[in-house]
Amino acid sequence: MQVEYWIGLFNAAQMPWTWTWIDQTAYDNKTAQWDTQQPAAGLNAGGYCVYLAWSESAADWRWLAGDCDKPRAVLCQLPASGSVPAAQSPFSCAAAMSLSAAPAYQTIPLTDPDFSQHPQLCAALCRKDDSCHAFRVVTGGVCELQARPAAAIALPAAGETAPPLAAFNVSVRLSCLRFGLDFVALGSAIATRTLGDAADVGSSGGTYKCLPEYRVNMVLARTVLGVCDPAACASLCGAAAWAGNTTCSVFVHSRSRCRCQLGYNSLYGLDLATDVQPGAGYVACMKSDADWLRFGAVNDPSTVTTTLGDKVLTLHPERYA
């Protein structure tokens, strides 16, 4: 049996080329020893931790990105008293969006500097507090710490109503969930409410996770007009396949335009989030948990150095003309 070794390198933001050594040594791609088609193949399969294995093609030891939870031998390990870098558990965030979470249990008013211009400070406060499972930075520079949102994410019982799980909110500069499982649960619950039974269409490729009012970057393979129901768009995506055994893994639906855009590789251009257009009836849905978590990590202030302006990041908008 081939022996594989963890080497102490992981992908903090769950996005390409954001590798971090566990001892905080700077990653240098010039000295990396990636195997053929790595790390892309590993990332696409949800692998965010790097291990060393013998490569028959290279006749040498090479790096591969793999599942962080799989048992392997180790070449580098922190002592039990050591602390894993905080960035190893990235926040999953959306800008200008109010995500479902428990009411704020602590509101930290504007000080110096402004939280809206330095949201990483709010993220740091949340990380230090075990009770904090989410946070929001609202207009005016206020940082709000929130408890676990699981109850709010749960679907209501028959006959009951519940507020939207996610809604455009111009007063929210950034809204973040601390744990990936909460973000996946949120996306799945939004998909169930938005798509109904179609949320499970093509379940062999993963059930859909969705966010309203958002569009995302992707390789746009097909645009279908006259599709006014997002569930019908999900069904088209579940059945779509193109040359090279490429299947539909992401779609963007506009209810107001009755337009369904089907595609794949939602990491296209590396950056995922495009502009939010409230009122256009957009919903962006992805099948892969890995793509969904990378989508949420785009605006993570603890791993991305950026100053949020008055608009959400707009990247490659011409692909949605």
Domains plus CATH for the chain?
A: 5-87 (3.10.100.10), 89-320 (3.50.4.10)
Distance from C-alpha of 245 to C-alpha of 25, rounded to nearest angstrom: 40
Enumerate long-range contacts of 245-248, CB under 8 Å, 24 or more apart.
Answer: 246/221, 247/202, 247/205, 248/202, 248/221
Return per-residue pLDDT of the chain as tens, 321 residues.
467 888 888 775 555 556 777 766 667 777 888 888 888 777 777 777 888 888 888 888 889 988 877 778 876 555 544 443 433 467 888 888 888 777 788 888 766 556 777 788 888 888 888 888 899 888 777 888 988 765 445 555 556 566 678 888 878 888 899 888 788 888 888 888 888 888 887 544 458 999 888 888 778 889 999 999 999 999 999 888 887 778 888 999 998 889 999 988 765 544 444 556 667 788 999 988 877 887 787 777 776 544 333 333 333 323 322
Determine the pLDDT at residue 224: 95
Inter-axis angle of helices 230-239 and 180-195, to 10 degrees? 110
Q: Which residues of 1-19 are buried (b: 16+ CB within 10 A; e: fewer)?
A: eeebebbbbbbbbbbeebb
β-sheet bridge partners, residue 97? 168
What torsion, rounded to 10 degrees, do the Cα atoms 275, 276, 277, 279 define?
170
What are the backbone dihedrals phi and psi of residue 9, each rounded to the nearest 5 degrees, phi first? -120, 130
Distance from C-alpha of 106 to C-alpha of 46, rounded to nearest angstrom: 34
**Maximum distance among all Cα pairs of the chain, rounded to whole angstroms:** 63
List Cα–Cα distances, 47 to 42, 65, 67, in angstroms.
5, 5, 4
Which residue type is seen at 6?
Answer: W
8 Å CB contact between 282 and 261: no
What are the backbone dihedrals phi and psi of residue 163, each rounded to the nearest 5 degrees, phi first? -65, 160
Distance from C-alpha of 24 to C-alpha of 83, rounded to nearest angstrom: 11
Please give, one letter per residue, the 3-state secondary structure of 236-282.
HHHHCEEHHHEECCEEEEECCCCEEEEEECCCCCCCCECCCCCCCCE
Residue by residue, DSSP assigns 178-223 as: S-HHHHHHHHHHHHHHHHGGGGGTTGGG---EEEET--B--EEEEE
Six-digit token string for 20: 């971090």
Inter-axis angle of helices 289-297 and 180-195, to 10 degrees? 110
What are the backbone dihedrals phi and psi of residue 194, each rounded to the nearest 5 degrees, phi first? -85, -40
Determine the pLDDT at residue 183: 85
pTM: 0.65
Determine the pLDDT at residue 262: 92
Distance from C-alpha of 185 to C-alpha of 181, rounded to nearest angstrom: 6
Length, in residues, of the chain: 321
SS3 percent helix, strand, coil of the chain, rounded to 5, is: 25, 30, 50
